[in-house]
Structure 1
């Protein structure tokens, strides 16, 4: 379904404003292009080939237009007037940055306001609006929240992942946003890294197999449907291979290791025509990727043939010289290295000044600026932004829809990895069940980081169903005489009150939300807090127990795997906890297998298949098929 023609979707007032802008641009303002647009301007003709439109537009652009296209600012630091005055090429929402109220309509209103401001620039070039929709449109209240990538890797189901990409794109496009900073194609090699859950796994072949999510986001052809959005493969390159699992650290590896472990997913992404690639904060062998010509131009663009555009990460160019506050030299180095669009959330004025001076002084060649603009403008034309720049509000009905939640529930069930089972699973709805643990009735813990806010939070942060709620609903629907009781915190005293009343316990334990470097665990990943007390109480009471682990990575269970009657890796399932109970109660047979080696202890990191270590559970482990 092609996008509607520009005039058919644009408000009459804005069409008139565009016409007035074009007329005004014919004046003698020194900042205006020498050949302002008219109704007959070739770049405005959707019947012409994209490359012809790009070249026509590029010939009309002055330096301010071109550098504006290379600049991305954060919505909270600008106004619509900023977009017009600086001719910005892109706006983003950082983690948790949303309009108030946080509704599809408010997002669409905000987006349309920014696009209207872009239409007032001399050439009327639309903006791209980028967000971190990394497991659904996860910043939007009411959106479907899918499992994080680590859980999707456990499904081993590329077709399912493509459907999730398409569903996410629909819920993103409903708000107007047209670019997601996803998928993360890192190959996570050390579970201590705080972004491990953004990876599909430790195996390059597994991560590579999940790249159909790009087609889900973009569609078979970019701009071929109203829900088509730009995808971003990130973070180039080897961000999952830093020493010690340190976020934004240094990946020390040979060229052969780089190519064998970390490059394959990017090759697949390029073959899938991914629109953009984001640079990693990290270094490779001591060189910051944001300033590396060898990585961004020689390898990515020249050798691998990437023809989309390269975007920096949040203030990433500021890390090139290791000192706070980006400098003129950092701007020069980053652009010459091959970055096309620069994410400068608040320091956009300084960036524009530095780059303008650098071009005028010959430190950055105009050919490099033109190359960056060709790459950016090509994607804008392909997406259809010049014909349909405004939000498609008819897609609002897809946000949190029954269809999308059913898809998420399917993904959750397929992501569950049953690691052990002595016969306690599946649980009969005629049983008396105790549901306990920090994650049993906590949607925030269930969803993890990058959910509503950047780091995420415990509590009722999203709309969804917890394991406790799903179990209660399933038992009520079965009407088989079973009961569900809950006790979030267990101690010897509280357990004594319920021990004689239950046949089996479901203990949902694990990590609380985090993202990026806040989630680094240099001393290893372990159970903490009252989850430890809960498991000890269940063990001491001798109650048959199913331990479900909500975590973004394998976690040291403190020996619980030795006495628990069943152990399930539940990952970070998102909004649809019923997918977990579908497996626990036998409605769905388990099919998930481990996307990472599960260490025997926290001290065994890093551990990966083929390194000679013996894990507690191997990569690919998991009981598959009927459990009864």
Structure 2
């Protein structure tokens, strides 16, 4: 869906001509919605107002948008005050952080990316939009499209992983899902790709930290998902907290104006992240609050969230001439044009229907979708001896702090989930067992998330000895990932590792269920378990989805969107790293690119995942030895299901540029396809590789292709497959 803001909308120009400077500035302010039930504890307090003060500001025309409050009835009252009691009657945008579900919670975005199904993300975003707009919202601060190559960074949970092609596909899909086919529809939710830009590249994986990055990496890795989201129709962009090579992203004229507006011709609005303009002072980039306002606005930030800086300082900056009136008018024009584009001038009470909010007819379909999305997000890392799927008549010990837990089911940035509908692991497994077999499931916590329980390990060991198989539910507490949750060691809490070691010592086969918001460095008994399933934070239907996979009602089809390292100290680690002059190869001495303790490899690479049948790949074949600069090459391999069960296989196309004017990555994902394969079926899976897909930011700073030799792999992961060579003429 193309962007359809119409800056020349006559209503916008008429309003602009009538507005005072204060009213113009008012349209550029976004504040916490204290009128409606508000999501608490999601941001530090700044410029806090009570409900009466908020409504008075709306009445005075000093508010462009409110955020993180919900409810159709009180939302109508906010809009009534804006439309009927303010001088100009301009409606307010009502926004919230609705990231991966509203009342129905879907898998965290990183988990959903493991499905390698952008169409699935489009469906869950669509369902989210239906529920969010019914609750009185027009706008969401999602999707997060940051590429996360360092798993210490907690906000990787909100994106699609370490790869740009995968991330771009999911960025576009989520925008399409949130916004739907008609921005004016009552169930269309305005999308906001964030955080612009390179937030996932913060140094040492520490949230809010600085970013030192080359222009080539910025343009080839971190910017493409934003471009994909904008091309899909997004009309808002949120700035990042970090600086980029010394210039804060929220006051970066080259990016917000030069690239976004002038080069990409983005017609929508740019909104700050929470108080990002205020933080220019702490950065040491602005002298004081007034200077921060001048720099942020001058760079191209249209709307200020929560700081109040624009209201406090923009009028005087306009009066002094430091901010031209024409620049103020242009920013207001963009905000008003977005309001017009989503239909607020035609129907100010759009998405504020109490009857629709109370309608629950969609819940069954959304829960079915949540269950399907969750099981499609699960990744089977290991399945030694075919311990999975489990027999329903087996004696099972479900052990671990996540066995009965529902407090750590949502994942980060879930503000409005209906907790009464969350399905714990125990409930899911019991529901999947025949009525007479539920006694064969014994449940023991063993420990809490981070602390020991008196007698807990002893009880877990006893249960393991009575069982034929142990399902060990371990992972990160929910608060370990998300904003401000950077970690130095991406391992399990020590008490959980101790539980795993004790249970493993019984000799009973171990199936580990990992609940996590990032790649983890697995150790000891967890690493060596017979079977390992990555179950992320799967949302409302967690228990049912995991049971579907454990008992074989669904063959796991997820693949890793992030590399699992051998050790935390490998971070940042990502599969598509540049080549080095001393690569780790068998014929080299110890003076090579590796660590003393570990090889320069992943424990489980990007793209890895297993199903319940072995899949075999033949060698990669290409259609021609040479491809023209504007040509297309076919690459294919024969993929065969050698098992007795149907499986879904994610077939991946990788390319390596052997010689470039800048050192090229060892491999780069160029395409992927998920296919269903029946038992014994063989299929030739073909990809069309356009020469343009081989382009990169060259040493001269220009984006384009370079002639030379390439390798192509059609493979099940970033480290598998047999390559075929070709030449770009």
Q: Distance in 2 between matches of 1:239 and 1:231?
A: 18
Q: Distance in 2 between matches of 1:595 and 1:323?
A: 33
Relative to structure 1, is the Cα distance of residues 130 and 567 closer, same or farther in structure 2, using a 3 angstrom cutoff? same
Cα shift readout 1:127-148 (whole Å, capped 9, x = no counterpart)? 00110000112xxxxx101111
Residue 525 (structure 2) pairs with residue 557 (structure 1):
no
Please point out which of 209, 223, 226 is paired with 2:169: 209
Q: Aligned ranges for residues 218-617 of structure 1 at < 5 Å? A: 218-223=179-184, 225-322=185-282, 327-344=289-306, 347-348=307-308, 351-390=310-349, 391-396=352-357, 397-398=359-360, 401-422=363-384, 423-452=386-415, 463-476=421-434, 479=436, 483-489=440-446, 491-514=456-479, 516-521=482-487, 523-577=488-542, 578-611=544-577, 613-617=600-604
Q: Distance in 1 between matches of 2:77 and 2:236?
A: 24
By how many angstroms is 1:557 displaced?
2.2
Deviates more, 1:160-169 or 1:602-611: 602-611
Question: What's the counterpart of residue 67 of structure 1?
Answer: 25
Q: Aligned ranges for residues 38-53 of structure 1 at < 5 Å? A: 51-53=9-11
Over the aligned positions, Cα root-mean-square deviation in angstroms equals 2.1
Q: Distance in 2 between matches of 1:398 and 1:535?
A: 42
By how many angstroms is 1:575 displaced?
1.2
What secondary structure is seen at the aligned counterpart in 1 of 2:66?
A: strand
TM-score by length of 1: 0.84
By how many angstroms is 1:52 displaced?
2.5
By how many angstroms is 1:471 displaced?
0.1
Q: Distance in 2 between matches of 1:492 and 1:444?
A: 22
By how many angstroms is 1:548 displaced?
0.9
Cα shift readout 1:512-550 (whole Å, capped 9, x = no counterpart)? 1225453111x2211014322221121111111110111
Cα shift readout 1:340-366 (whole Å, capped 9, x = no counterpart)? 11102xx43x53131110011111111
Q: Distance in 2 between matches of 1:265 and 1:462?
A: 35
Q: Distance in 2 between matches of 1:194 and 1:171?
A: 27
Q: Distance in 2 between matches of 1:292 and 1:53?
A: 31
Q: Is the 8 A contact 1:170 1:227 kept in 2?
A: yes
Deviates more, 1:166-175 or 1:433-442: 433-442
Q: Is the 8 A contact 1:591 1:625 kept in 2?
A: no
Relative to structure 1, is the Cα distance of residues 174 and 532 closer, same or farther in structure 2, using a 3 angstrom cutoff? same
TM-score by length of 2: 0.73
Question: In the comparison of the two structures, how many residue pairs are matched?
Answer: 554
Q: Distance in 2 between matches of 1:250 and 1:400?
A: 44
Question: What's the counterpart of residue 147 of structure 2?
Answer: 187
What secondary structure is seen at the aligned counterpart in 2 of 1:316?
A: coil
Cα shift readout 1:351-389 (whole Å, capped 9, x = no counterpart)? 313111001111111111111111111111111112222
Q: Is the 8 A contact 2:61 2:88 kept in 1?
A: no
By how many angstroms is 1:496 displaced?
4.5
Cα shift readout 1:2-31 (whole Å, capped 9, x = no counterpart)? xxxxxxxxxxxxxxxxxxxxxxxxxxxxxx
Structure ranking higher in strand proportion: 2
Cα shift readout 1:425-459 (whole Å, capped 9, x = no counterpart)? 00111111111212222122221222238xx9xxx
Question: What's the counterpart of residue 170 of structure 1?
Answer: 130
Q: Distance in 1 between matches of 2:603 and 2:464?
A: 30
Deviates more, 1:510-519 or 1:361-370: 510-519
Q: Distance in 1 between matches of 2:111 and 2:461?
A: 35
Relative to structure 1, is the Cα distance of residues 507 and 589 closer, same or farther in structure 2, using a 3 angstrom cutoff? same
Residue 49 (structure 2) pairs with residue 88 (structure 1):
no
Q: Distance in 1 between matches of 2:193 and 2:530?
A: 40
Relative to structure 1, is the Cα distance of residues 376 and 49 closer, same or farther in structure 2, using a 3 angstrom cutoff? closer
Cα shift readout 1:74-127 (whole Å, capped 9, x = no counterpart)? 12324312211243111112xxxx57xxxxxxx112211211121111110000
Relative to structure 1, is the Cα distance of residues 214 and 398 closer, same or farther in structure 2, using a 3 angstrom cutoff? farther
Q: Is the 8 A contact 1:430 1:481 kept in 2?
A: no
What secondary structure is seen at the aligned counterpart in 2 of 1:419?
A: strand
Relative to structure 1, is the Cα distance of residues 380 and 326 closer, same or farther in structure 2, using a 3 angstrom cutoff? farther
Q: Distance in 1 between matches of 2:438 and 2:464?
A: 18
Relative to structure 1, is the Cα distance of residues 322 and 399 closer, same or farther in structure 2, using a 3 angstrom cutoff? farther
Please point out which of 67, 75, 80 is paired with 1:116: 80
What secondary structure is seen at the aligned counterpart in 1 of 2:282?
A: coil
Please point out which of 594, 611, 614 is paired with 1:624: 611
By how many angstroms is 1:62 displaced?
2.1
Question: What's the counterpart of residue 103 of structure 1?
Answer: none
Relative to structure 1, is the Cα distance of residues 212 and 517 closer, same or farther in structure 2, using a 3 angstrom cutoff? closer
Q: Is the 8 A contact 2:367 2:541 kept in 1?
A: yes
Higher relative contact order (CA 8 A, sep 6+): 1
What secondary structure is seen at the aligned counterpart in 2 of 1:452?
A: coil
Q: Is the 8 A contact 2:446 2:457 kept in 1?
A: no
Question: What's the counterpart of residue 699 of structure 2?
Answer: none
By how many angstroms is 1:493 displaced?
2.0
Relative to structure 1, is the Cα distance of residues 492 and 443 closer, same or farther in structure 2, using a 3 angstrom cutoff? closer
Q: Distance in 2 between matches of 1:252 and 1:463?
A: 44
What secondary structure is seen at the aligned counterpart in 2 of 1:546?
A: strand
What secondary structure is seen at the aligned counterpart in 1 of 2:433?
A: helix
